[in-house]
Amino acid sequence: MERAAAVGVQPLWVDLLITASAPKLAPHLDEIGANVAGLLGIPVDRVSAKASSGNLVGDEGAGKAIRCAAILVAQRRGTSE
């Protein structure tokens, strides 16, 4: 956020997809979304957090890793949404 602010960029919206076989994340998605919103300084309704067990292959399927993919929409400060 410091680097983004330094160049005049502000986040508008973020979509997260967390892939893991364990732990079960569904009960925690609202909290995850709220934490991400707080870190980015955006309203919680502009964060979409989802969890998936994926195709249960590789390190995620074996329970050795958790993957998160994020798409962030941002704009330069002073431009309209």
- pLDDT string in tens for the chain (81-residue length): 788 888 889 999 999 999 888 888 899 999 999 999 999 999 999 999 999 887 777 777 777 888 899 999 999 887 665
Q: What pLDDT is stored for residue 37 in this prediction?
A: 96
Q: What pLDDT is stored for residue 79 in this prediction?
A: 67
CA gap 10, 70 in Å, rounded: 16
Q: What pLDDT is stored for residue 77 in this prediction?
A: 80
Q: What pLDDT is stored for residue 80 in this prediction?
A: 63
Any long-range contacts for 41-47 (C-beta under 8 Å, 24+ apart)?
41/1, 41/10, 41/11, 42/11, 42/12, 42/13, 42/14, 46/12, 46/13, 46/14, 47/13, 47/14, 47/15, 47/16
Homologous superfamily (CATH) of 2-73 is 2-C-methyl-D-erythritol 2,4-cyclodiphosphate synthase (3.30.1330.50)
